[in-house]
């Protein structure tokens, strides 16, 4: 009599939906893993070295003028406070992962990379003009400017088109308010970058056309090989 092969290994069932989710959004989780590594470097670095690493990988005016490509790329993989890593992990799962799974890795990467680069360059151009007009001190050219949140704002924007009406409009109103209120009240260059990134995400609406819906990973779903 043939032996019956169990459909799931004992104790392995809970890991399958998690593994499926991670494999369906590889770019998000590779990015998050790199941020976890750089955050660990900051947390374990002696006094002085952590500040050097953050400044060296910032996309501020000073670093952009010396090595622009490294500054733009490097700033996307660091966060200033390692204690906020858990918060970023949640935000990556809530916004980046669904967008990547919906649009595909290439389109998702186009959206977040465009937002990160454009928002950084535009906001730093405004800083340069403010320095030249003597509206802000020249030390603004050396501030820590790491742009992980710019890509997040772009994913928040484009995710609008994933939601059905009328919930789409409530979500959009909340997103606009979340980024517009700090820009109006605080007038910081980071808030400007966030607002620009949100608009860039919204402007990528053409990428969302004719994208087929993909099934949601369920708790009992099998993990394809």
Judge whether 57 lies within some domain. Answer: yes
Enclosing H/E stretch for 23: helix 15-24
pLDDT score recorded for residue 93: 95
The pLDDT value given to residue 23: 82
Q: Which residue range(s) make up the domain with 73? A: 25-208
Domain count, the chain: 1
Closest CA relative to residue 32, chosen from 91, 113, 74, 75: 91
Q: Is residue 12 part of a domain?
A: no
Residue 123 belongs to some domain of the structure: yes
| Longest Cα–Cα distance in the chain | 87
Burial class (CB in 10 A: 0-12, 13-18, 19+), 4: exposed
- H-type alpha helices, 12-104: 15-24, 26-44, 49-56, 61-66, 68-74, 85-91, 97-103
45 in any annotated domain: yes
Q: Tell me: the pLDDT tens digits for 82-121? A: 889 999 999 999 999 999 999 999 999 999 999 999 999 9
pLDDT, tens digit, 9 for 90 and up, residues 4-48: 444 444 444 555 777 777 788 999 999 999 999 999 999 888 887
Stretch 181-210: mean pLDDT: 92
19, part of any domain: no
Question: Which two three-digit tokens encode residue 21?
Answer: 């989710």
CATH code of residue 43: 1.20.1540
Q: Which residue has the higher pLDDT, 116 or 223?
A: 116
Q: Is residue 160 part of a domain?
A: yes
Q: Please give the model's pTM, rounded to 2 decimal places.
A: 0.83
Quickly count helices (H) and strands (E) in the chain: 11, 0
- Examine residue 13 and state whether it is found in any structural domain, yes or no: no
User: What is the percent of the chain where pLDDT is above 70?
Assistant: 87
Q: Is 118 within 8 Å of 144 (Cβ atoms)?
A: no
| Residue 39 backbone class (left: φ over 0; alpha: ψ -120 to 50; beta: rest) | alpha
Given a contact cutoff of 8 angstroms between Cβ atoms, the answer to whether 152 and 91 are in contact is: yes
Residue 10 lies inside a defined structural domain of this protein: no
């Amino acid at each position: 009599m043939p032996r019956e092969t169990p459909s799931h290994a004992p104790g392995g069932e809970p890991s399958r939906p998690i593994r499926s989710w991670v494999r369906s959004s590889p770019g998000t989780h590779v990015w998050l893993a790199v941020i976890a590594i750089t955050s660990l470097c900051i947390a374990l670095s002696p006094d002085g070295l952590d500040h050097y690493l953050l400044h060296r990988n910032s996309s501020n005016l000073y670093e952009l003028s010396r090595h622009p490509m490294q500054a733009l790329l490097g700033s996307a993989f660091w966060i200033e406070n390692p204690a906020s890593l858990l918060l970023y992990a949640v935000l990556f799962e809530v916004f980046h992962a669904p967008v990547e799974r919906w649009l595909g890795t290439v389109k998702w990467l186009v959206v977040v990379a465009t937002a990160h680069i454009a928002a950084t360059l535009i906001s730093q151009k405004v800083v340069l003009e403010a320095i030249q007009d003597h509206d802000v001190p020249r030390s603004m050219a050396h501030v820590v400017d790491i742009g992980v949140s710019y890509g997040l704002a772009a994913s928040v924007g484009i995710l609008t088109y994933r939601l059905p009406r009328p919930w789409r409009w409530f979500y959009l109103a909340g997103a606009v308010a979340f980024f517009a209120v700090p820009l109006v009240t605080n007038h910081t260059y980071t808030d400007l970058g966030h607002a620009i990134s949100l608009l860039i995400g919204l402007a990528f609406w053409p990428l969302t056309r004719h994208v087929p819906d993909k099934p949601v990973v369920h708790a009992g779903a099998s993990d394809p090989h």
